[in-house]
Structure 1
Amino acid sequence: MSKDIKVALVTGGNRGIGYEQVKQLAMNGFNVILASRDPEMGHKSAKKLKDSNLDVSFLMMDVNNQESIRKAAITVNERYGRLDVLINNAGVYLDENKKLLGMDPSILEKTMATNFFGVYHVIRSFIPLMEKQGYGRIINVSSEYGAMSEMSYPGVGAYKLSKLALNGLTRLLAAEIKDDIKINTVDPGWVSTDMGGPSAPRTPKQAAESILWLATIGTSGPSGGFFRDGEPIDW
Structure 2
Amino acid sequence: MTETKIALVTGANKGIGFAIAEQLAAQGVTVLLGARDATRREDAVAKLGASGASVSGIALDVTDPATIAAAAAEVESRFGRLDILVNNAGITGDLSQEAGAGGLAEVRRVFDVNVFGVMAVTDAMLPLLRRSPAGRIVNVSSSVGSLADMTAPDGGYLADMPAMLGYPVSKTALNAVTAQYAKHLRKNGILVNAVCPGYTATDLNNFAGTRTAAEGAAIAVRLATVGADGPTAGFFADEGPVAW
Residue 14 of structure 2 corresponds to which residue in structure 1? 15
Q: Are the equivalent residues in 2 in contact too, given 1:134–1:179 (CA < 8 A)?
A: no
1:77 maps to amino acid? E
Out of 153, 173, 192, the residue aligned to residue 183 of structure 1 is 192
Q: Are the equivalent residues in 1 in contact too, given 2:7–2:85 (CA < 8 A)?
A: yes
**Distance (whole Å) between structure 1 residues aligned to residue 41 and residue 135 of structure 2:** 24
User: 4+ runs of 1 displaced by more than 4 Å?
Assistant: none
**Distance (whole Å) between structure 2 residues aligned to residue 45 and residue 39 of structure 1:** 10
Q: Are the equivalent residues in 2 in contact too, given 1:31–1:56 (CA < 8 A)?
A: yes
What are the equivalent positions in structure 2 for 1:133-212 lying under 5 Å apart?
A: 133-152=132-151, 154-177=162-185, 178-212=187-221
> Post-superposition shift, 1:137?
0.5
Q: Are the equivalent residues in 1 in contact too, given 2:6–2:84 (CA < 8 A)?
A: yes
Structure 1 window deviating more from structure 2 (107-116 vs 221-230): it is 221-230
Residue 215 of structure 1 corresponds to which residue in structure 2? 224
> Post-superposition shift, 1:26?
0.4
1:170 maps to amino acid? T
Residue 226 of structure 1 corresponds to which residue in structure 2? 235
> Post-superposition shift, 1:150?
4.3
Counterpart secondary structure, 1:227: strand
**Distance (whole Å) between structure 2 residues aligned to residue 225 and residue 162 of structure 1:** 17
If the length of structure 1 is used for normalisation, what is the TM-score?
Answer: 0.95
Q: Are the equivalent residues in 2 in contact too, given 1:33–1:59 (CA < 8 A)?
A: yes
Aligned residues: 234
| 110 and 150 in structure 1: CA distance in 2 versus 1, 3 angstrom threshold | farther
Q: Are the equivalent residues in 2 in contact too, given 1:135–1:179 (CA < 8 A)?
A: no
Structure 2, unaligned stretches of length 5 or more? 156-161
Structure 1, unaligned stretches of length 5 or more? none
2:78 maps to amino acid? R
What are the equivalent positions in structure 2 for 1:80-99 lying under 5 Å apart?
A: 80-99=79-98
Counterpart secondary structure, 1:135: coil
**Distance (whole Å) between structure 2 residues aligned to residue 124 and residue 3 of structure 1:** 27
**Distance (whole Å) between structure 2 residues aligned to residue 218 and residue 113 of structure 1:** 32
* Deviations, residues 161-193 of structure 1 (Å, cap 9, x unaligned): 110110000111111112220000001001001
Residue 110 of structure 1 corresponds to which residue in structure 2? 109
Counterpart secondary structure, 2:135: strand
If the length of structure 2 is used for normalisation, what is the TM-score?
Answer: 0.92
**Distance (whole Å) between structure 1 residues aligned to residue 131 and residue 75 of structure 2:** 13
**Distance (whole Å) between structure 1 residues aligned to residue 55 and residue 116 of structure 2:** 26
Structure 1 window deviating more from structure 2 (10-19 vs 205-214): it is 205-214
Q: Are the equivalent residues in 2 in contact too, given 1:34–1:58 (CA < 8 A)?
A: yes
C-alpha RMSD of matched pairs (Å): 1.5
2:53 maps to amino acid? L
Q: Are the equivalent residues in 2 in contact too, given 1:139–1:184 (CA < 8 A)?
A: yes
Counterpart secondary structure, 1:172: helix
Structure 1 window deviating more from structure 2 (221-230 vs 101-110): it is 101-110
> Post-superposition shift, 1:97?
1.7
| 96 and 230 in structure 1: CA distance in 2 versus 1, 3 angstrom threshold | closer
Q: Are the equivalent residues in 2 in contact too, given 1:20–1:208 (CA < 8 A)?
A: yes
Structure 1 window deviating more from structure 2 (18-27 vs 175-184): it is 175-184
Q: Are the equivalent residues in 2 in contact too, given 1:213–1:230 (CA < 8 A)?
A: no
2:220 maps to amino acid? I
**Distance (whole Å) between structure 1 residues aligned to residue 166 and residue 8 of structure 2:** 26
Identity %: 38
